[in-house]
Structure 1
Amino acid sequence: MDYAQEYVTTVHDLTDPTPAAPLAECAVVVPIAGDEPAAVTPEHIFSTLETVGPASVVVPLRAPAETAGAFREWIQNFEVPVTVLWCDADGIGDRLAKHGLDGPHGKGRDVWLGLGVAADRADYVVVHDADATTYGRHHVPRLLAPLTHGHDFVKGYYARVENEQLYGRLTRLFVAPLVDALRENRRAAFLEYLDAFRYPLAGEFAVTAEAARRLRAQRTWGLEVGLLGDAYGVAGRDRTAQVDLGVHRHDHRPVEGSSGLSTMADEVGAALFRALADHGIDPDYDRLRERYRTAADRLVDQYATAASLNDLEYDPAAEREQVRAYAESVDAPGPDDRLPAWTETDLSPSAVLHASRNTETTASSPSPD
């Protein structure tokens, strides 16, 4: 039975628990993005949240105007208090620009906006993605419960096995071997912290409202690993936990293309290297790239053994081809355009919400800002 502890508190799924948790003091942030109504209406997520009963649900929605309107109508079918934060509203862009925070749009910006609004209305905040087909009513309580045991930041982890294959490729083949390579020739507490997370790219986490206000955010795909860098400063080892959410099945991405894993690897790598710089670690990227390839090849052999003994399909040659693609992302990060902690800006979450709801009049109307 697996109950070994990592560098941070690790809560295993030993009894399929749905623990007691402060749901009445919790806001759940569910970022959603899509062009068509069918892509932004995950019925199983909100029907489950109805049974969970959080105090509030905040949906940062990135979608065209017509799709956003359709979502606002659709969400009224559920008996759960939902606040829709339309992230593509012109008013939000105007408001961010006014405060010097304009920049690229993406998941990270959406979650950051949602964190600000959620932390204003609840003591605890849970964030999770909307594309998991295995989402269950135990997810929010499991993420929340460690916050009542002295922790400020809780990360979810899970197994990615579907269609008799191992998924989670960007974690398995990029982040995990990259952290292994970084740890080969240096001892640093922050690297021990990173290495402790069983699924560092999981989109599921929980924080106290106070901690939520102190987290910076990458604007796009580097959000999850970037948050670990800030969580180390905010919560540290002793107030960080990770919790087993079981087996997850959700959308898969191709390796190539503008929204593929290789593009994501560029942004995840940049976020990781910015976090390293924050904690005084400055790698030699040429040497690190070679050590990464060696570490990744070793892991491919290990995954091949694990897959074989579990009668899963596995293609080592295809995995190594992905490693070669991801190696191009091992390079110095570009300019730092992270969004600041909410405690470090005079932009107010209420102004963001106002801008989202009043897109046609925000520029000329008074706001709570």
Structure 2
Amino acid sequence: MNRIKPSTLAASIALLSTTLVGLPAQAADDPAKPNPVAEAVAKTMGKLRADEDMLAVLNAQAGLKPKPIEKLDVATARKQPTVTDGVNAVLKQQGKSTKPEDLVPGVTSMDATVDGAAGKLPATVYTPEGAGPFPVVVYFHGGGWVIADRKVYDGGARGIAKQANAVVVSVDYRQAPEAKFPAAWDDALASYKWTLANAAKLKGDAKKVALAGESAGGNLALATAIAARDAGVQQPAHVLAVYPVTQTSLNTESYLENAVAKPLNRPMVKWFVDKTTRSPADLKDKRLQLIDAKLEGMAPGVTIINARIDPLRSDGSKLEDALKKANVPVERRDYEGVTHEFFGTAAVVQKAKDAQAFAGQRLKNAFGG
């Protein structure tokens, strides 16, 4: 099927999406079921705009019957099928292994703990083959600071370890609403400091430590670089931000265009933010409103990866502009035909393989390798 370019569809999609957001978000007879009209439009948009391999993952996840996150309590939301579950379903359909070590050979992993701001945090350490010492990447998973964990985001973290030939420390920071803003941000900085102090024990080079993250985790990576600068802590060698949250308005071009997109939509983001923040005042905090933060000197370079079918696409674009204005070297790539969460789907989605290779090369360049 030929995919229609967003440049052709953008105006009509934005109008239709914002109209649909005004409809009841669930069926009247069952609060757990999404509005059938909105669901139908979202599926049609996916068929028109998504690459076939990306669409296969979305369809596989949909086949697991996820409920609309924005209409659930937190405990139930955390049990919903993820894009990673969709990837595994596609792999099974293809008769392939779903074991992470088979999908990304040459990388081993072990569970560990790191020091957070208020106690120990679970983590996974990914190590490439060889004697080392390797560069190190501290990685933060996505999930809107509320759902998911490092295991859900194994594909992205493991892929970075492979492509960058680096040790990756993937951290489970505290989540909202149990630990509201700024708990996750405090944990992110603390885990970065812990990694600097313990890199050698992980076959890592403490002089070459970068930050990375996806979605909410991309925000944490960027905010941690700024916090490290302000605290006089060693500057990260690089920051890799994959479809990061960089501002708090829900009325950007991409939010309107992708208001009912899958797997992330506008109402879901509002749900995440409402669960994470303590009051509306937090929305003005520069750790969330990153585009208004002092960005000068935060890192020697930043890489931003965006997906075209994603409410957060404009966040990446706005951050790119802000970084350039602050004279921070930045390169951003916007991948056509894929959605939010695509980065960790490299086992079955070509654009994810491409994005991971690009990210790995950018990190290698930053590490001097």
With the shorter chain as reference, the TM-score category is under 0.3
Question: Which entry has the higher C-alpha Rg, 1 or 2?
Answer: 1
TM-score, length of structure 1 as denominator length: 0.27
Instruction: Decide which structure has greater strand share.
Output: 2
User: Which of structures 1 and 2 has the larger relative contact order (alpha carbons within 8 angstroms, sep 6+)?
Assistant: 1
TM-score, L = length of structure 2 = 0.27
